[in-house]
A and B are shown apart, each in its own frame.
Chain A
């Protein structure tokens, strides 16, 4: 028990927690924005994959790192736009379209990767983002060195949590977005184009998902691997429910989740002789299911989530 306490108080553990949490923060925020506008985006897993691929590809072809992030975001947006056409404008099944987008985006990623690197045993590496300390903040004991000695993308994630909160709750635009997910008819009565708002939200949300994926190839690792997203997207869909669609809680949820994940990886090393490592690797997925069980009963889903809207609809 004491050992566990000591472990929890180390900077290296928390540094790992923040590294694991960053892509989840991006993607959870992305899904949250989509769902707040009333659109479930199950394309998340594929959009993260193609974001990871696009960011890596940009840098591999000689582009600069930030160019890679922007490129990943644009690619993500394009898939978000495709999803919007299908579910916002045509009002088709959000479940099926999302799964289709995931299948399309990941197969395009693997196709492109295999085409560019046909015969490789070791995936080619790029020079990834490097960590830098934020003055003052990084000198806070234990967590300072963990939260404020990271790469630029992690700092961007912190900022985005605040921006998302500010936009959703303090700006008229945010009210409009939330209304699109709660009561789109009221939106239309105000002369607001619900379809446009939903499309915008899905595109921005998808861009964030793609950046979350790009973090993996451009910051956490320095290469692209097959199956590297490994269910992270689905975990983020669970995290959004766990966070009851609130950006602050999404951040905390991602950190909490990453803490368990980091502990799990360490436990794997200690307990490898007694318990097969696969048992530990299952934990994140179990945890996501448990997290949903905890909140599902009182979950306040956006009322118009999954409900297509046609201009001129009346209730």
Chain B
């Protein structure tokens, strides 16, 4: 048995791979459910019901998908250029901090201006914090994986400091949370009696914009070229440093927007529990989408449903909701294995 490189990957295979990966995750996940002493079938029915069983459940899943679309795009755009930004979690909080700084009374404008201002502020904050790892990579050859990871911890401590100190809302009865975003900065809900907010529209628009940039612009071409072959790109006069900077600005900005959307759309204020690891889950979202911006939408909704479903399941069946993280991790690993099948053909025999 050996592997032969494919000239081009059939489209059906690209579509089937993520679905197969999630199936594989559910099969392995069944063992963990059996370990907890429950029946996988009952558990999975409860999970699917919890995620998609009612119109409220569906809106919850879509709401959960919003930050994942942003962080998924952040990872997809960076990974395309092989820039390993694992710091979306920190950048998300930077965006949230910027939205809080600007949105809690610094300025008060009509919603139609206020909301874009908040998103731009958050995106800028996400970019700015990522400039440090980028600078260290391009000028001092410091690996960006470790710096972006370590920055996550630094940023979270910084948020903690603000929330226990100057930003602590005295009206919050001792809870470490910041003041509420003023009314004009709050994203409206788009489905009555649900939490689904306007952030989903912004997320969808950003996906389309990113797709168009990667597909039709010279920037996008350069980003892809750098990802495929750095030496060849340099040879053709593409500046690697400039491309990395560009990628980082997009990636950090998108992650920052995730924070803005959570603060202004869902919670209404900044807390330390704003993100249960959306930054890390974004990596799985991007990989399942094969780094395609439009695919990110679908895979974000898929993974969000798993999380929402698992939360509901853990209330009815006696299984910890960490099962969702296990399922997501397994689907990440299996889509990685699956990506081999997209690049190579297995040839049996000599």
Which residues of A are interface residues toward B (Cβ below 8 A)? Answer: 42, 82, 86, 90, 92-93, 95-97, 99-101, 103-104, 106-108, 110-111, 114-115, 118, 230-231, 234-235, 237-238, 241, 276, 278-279, 281-282, 285-286, 288-289, 292-293, 296-297, 299
Q: Is B340 close to A, CB under 8 A?
A: yes
Q: Is the CB of A114 within 8 A of B322?
A: yes
Q: Is the CB of A278 within 8 A of B145?
A: no
When the two chains form the complex, which single residue of B146, B149, B161 contacts A279, counting CB atoms closer than 8 Å?
Answer: B161
Q: Is B20 close to A, CB under 8 A?
A: no
In the docked arrangement, what's the CA distance between A276 and B323, Å?
Answer: 36
Q: Is B164 close to A, CB under 8 A?
A: yes
In the docked arrangement, what's the CA distance between A24 and B81, Å?
Answer: 32
In the docked arrangement, what's the CA distance between A101 and B151, Å?
Answer: 21
Q: Is the CB of B336 within 8 A of A288?
A: no
* Most chain B beta-carbon contacts within 10 A, residue among A86, A97, A238, A278: A278
Q: Is the CB of A285 within 8 A of B325?
A: no
CB proximity of A232 to chain B, nearest CB, Å: 10
**Chain B residues within 8 Å of A285, by CB:** 150-151, 153-154
Q: With A92-B337, A293-B142 in contact, do A103 and B325 touch (Cβ < 8 Å)?
A: yes
Q: Is the CB of A234 within 8 A of B146?
A: yes
Which residues of B are interface residues toward A (Cβ below 8 A)? Answer: 32, 35-36, 79, 84, 86, 136, 140-143, 145-147, 149-154, 157-158, 160-161, 164-165, 280, 283-284, 287, 318-320, 322-323, 325-326, 328-330, 332-333, 336-337, 339-340
Q: Is the CB of A231 within 8 A of B333?
A: no
Q: Is the CB of A95 within 8 A of B145?
A: yes
**Chain B residues within 8 Å of A110, by CB:** 320, 322, 325
When the two chains form the complex, which single residue of B140, B145, B287, B322 contacts A107, counting CB atoms closer than 8 Å?
Answer: B322
By secondary structure, the B interface counts as helix
When the two chains form the complex, which single residue of B140, B146, B287 contacts A237, counting CB atoms closer than 8 Å?
Answer: B146
Q: With A110-B320, A110-B322, A111-B320 in contact, do A235 and B32 touch (Cβ < 8 Å)?
A: no
In the docked arrangement, what's the CA distance between A95 and B144, Å?
Answer: 11
CB proximity of B279 to chain A, nearest CB, Å: 11
CB proximity of A109 to chain B, nearest CB, Å: 9
**Chain B residues within 8 Å of A238, by CB:** 146, 150
Q: Is the CB of B154 within 8 A of A42?
A: no
**Chain B residues within 8 Å of A276, by CB:** 161, 164-165
**Chain A residues within 8 Å of B322, by CB:** 107, 110-111, 114
**Chain B residues within 8 Å of A114, by CB:** 320, 322
In the docked arrangement, what's the CA distance between A93 and B75, Å?
Answer: 14
Q: Is the CB of A86 within 8 A of B336?
A: yes
In the docked arrangement, what's the CA distance between A92 and B153, Å?
Answer: 28
CB proximity of A68 to chain B, nearest CB, Å: 20
Q: Is the CB of B146 within 8 A of A288?
A: yes
Q: Is the CB of A111 within 8 A of B158?
A: no
In the docked arrangement, what's the CA distance between A4 and B315, Å?
Answer: 53
Q: Is the CB of B32 within 8 A of A111?
A: yes
Q: With A115-B320, A231-B153 in contact, do A293 and B336 touch (Cβ < 8 Å)?
A: no
Q: Is the CB of A292 within 8 A of B325?
A: no
When the two chains form the complex, which single residue of A96, A293, A297 contacts B332, counting CB atoms closer than 8 Å?
Answer: A96
Give the top 7 A-B pairs by smallest Cβ distance, nearest first. Answer: A107-B325, A114-B320, A104-B329, A278-B161, A103-B329, A111-B322, A296-B142
